[in-house]
Amino acid sequence: MHRVTEKVTLSENIVKTVFEAPDIAKKRKAGQFVILMIDDKGERIPLTIVDSDPVKGTLTIIYQVVGKTTDQLARLEVGDLIQHVLGPLGHPTEIEGIKTAICVGGGVGIGVLYPIAKALKEKGTRVISIIGARTKNLLILEEESRSVSDELHITTDDGSYGRHGFVSDVLKDIIDSGQKVDRVFTIGPVPMMRVVANVTRPYNIKTLVSLNPIMVDGTGMCGACRVTVGGKTKFTCVDGPEFDGHEVDFGLLMSRLRMYIDQEQEARELCRCGKND
């Protein structure tokens, strides 16, 4: 059992939850994730660990409320319990020997990107962060991102804050300005990661994406999270979650993410009805 110790609503539908998981907090490295299951009738969902506190024995997750499980998670208050948390899973991000990195985050992906930027910064990498959202009040972790970046650029799709446009526009400008960039990390909606990978491809800048497909066990047992990378099938849970963005079949990833869209809606509707009872 894992007790919730903090909950903060970061924007309209993005929530931060901190909960106890002392063993995982001791081992966890940037880029790794957990599978959690709120109760015994729940679904197992993967969520990247945004931060960990080995002293307090806690993990932090940031997630967007998109379905029944995240909805239920967002309603857990301090003192409530999450029954099952498995982790840390996946390979940690490789952060060694990078002089300059650009971290490109969109929407809730900014939360997932933040620990990577932080780890890079701690290794002495020059970190340029580009974060974006649809509109100003959906933008999260601005201050946190600034604190771990040498440069921070902000975009909104509607121009309500920062530069009017997309994160990929800023990325292209920075690369075109002639700065030497060793690595790009990008996490966000699948279409955004695809565009970012397309921007860096002609420049041959290695671009890592962190994928969040549907998973069940998270230990390499089921293959639900398989993705095609460079024409080969990979399991995100044990081979990833980070892959070379120039090699990922994003179209396939998107269609597999939509596999249960009807059931997800049904479950969420029922959940909401239950709430109003």
Partner 1 sequence: MTEQEKIEKKEKKERIPRQGMPEQDPKARVTNFDEVPTGYSPETAMLEARRCIQCKKPGCVSGCPVDIDIPAFIQLVADGDFIGAARKIKETNCLPAVCGRVCPQEDQCEKLCVLGKKWDPVAIGRLERFVADYERKAGTIEIPALPASTGKRIAVIGAGPAGLTIAGDLVKMGHDVTIFEALHKSGGVLIYGIPEFRLPKGIVDAEVEYLQKIGVKIVTDAAIGRLKTIDDLFAEGFHAVFLGVGAGAPVFMNIPGENFSGIYSANEYLTRSNLMKAYRFPEYDTPIAKGRNVAVIGGGNVAMDSVRTALRLGAENAIIIYRRTKNEMPARAEEVHHAEEEGVQFQFLTNPIEYIGDEKGWVRQMVCQRMELGEPDESGRRRPVVIRGSEFKIDVDTVVVSVGTMANPVIPMTTPGLDTNRWGYIVTKDETGETTRKGVWAGGDIVTGSATVILAMGAGRKAAMAIHDYVMSL
Please tell me whether residue 71 binds partner 1 under the rule CB under 8 A. no
Instruction: By CB under 8 A, tell whether 3 contacts partner 1.
Output: no
Sheet with 163-164, edge to edge strand ranges: 163-164, 151-156, 126-133, 100-106, 183-187, 206-210, 242-244
Cα dihedral value 207, 93, 217, 197, nearest 10? -10
266 near partner 1 (CB under 8 A): yes
Query: With binding defined as CB under 8 A, does residue 263 bind partner 1?
Result: yes
Question: Binding of partner 1 at residue 227 (CB under 8 A)?
Answer: yes
**Smaller CB separation from partner 1, 23 or 122:** 23
Q: Taking CB under 8 A as the rule, does residue 13 contact partner 1? A: no
Q: Is 217 in the site for partner 1 (CB under 8 A)?
A: yes
Which span sits near partner 1 by CB under 8 A: 41-49, 112-120, 144-152, 178-186? 41-49
CB-CB contact of 146 with 153 (8 Å)? no
84 touches partner 1 by CB under 8 A: yes
Distance, in Å, from the CA atom of 107 to the CA atom of 132, rounded to the nearest integer, reads 6
| Contact call for residue 42 and partner 1 (CB under 8 A) | yes
CB of 121 to partner 1, least distance (A): 25
Q: Does 81 bind partner 1 (CB under 8 A)?
A: no
In this chain, which stretch among 38-46, 52-60, 131-139, 169-177 interacts with partner 1, using CB under 8 A? 38-46
CA distances from 48 to 17, 37, 128, 150 (A): 12, 14, 21, 24
Q: Contact residues for partner 1 (CB under 8 A)?
A: 23-24, 27, 37, 40-44, 68-69, 83-89, 216-224, 226-228, 233, 238, 251-252, 254-256, 258-260, 263-264, 266-267, 270
